Structure 1
């Protein structure tokens, strides 16, 4: 039987939890993009051409990859 250190286990658990929390909802985590909304992360946008030159912070509703399929 192989053993792993508790440090390795908890680092792996933390990494997987963060990945699932902030992943695109298409992959099954981050339900309703709530984690992205908390961070004001816009998710997947087709383009930022209109916003790129703005000096102000622009709030955008987040988009999932699934939003681009329809």
Structure 2
């Protein structure tokens, strides 16, 4: 937005500034895209595994134990 609109991308007189500010907030809230890519790659390559739950939840009522083929 800033590259296209120049200084108007920073000015709160135009809605593009609000769009840019709101978009940046979601990135900061969820973490950077690069961090998510690194975590996904580590899981895919087997470098990272989930911890074993200390109190695992029982299966939901009405579902069979193996609902997804492995």
Settle same-fold status: TM greater than 0.5. no
- Higher RCO, 1 or 2 (CA under 8 Å, sep at least 6)? 1
TM-score of the two chains, using structure 1 as the length reference: 0.32
TM-score of the two chains, using structure 2 as the length reference: 0.32
Greater helix percent: which structure? 2
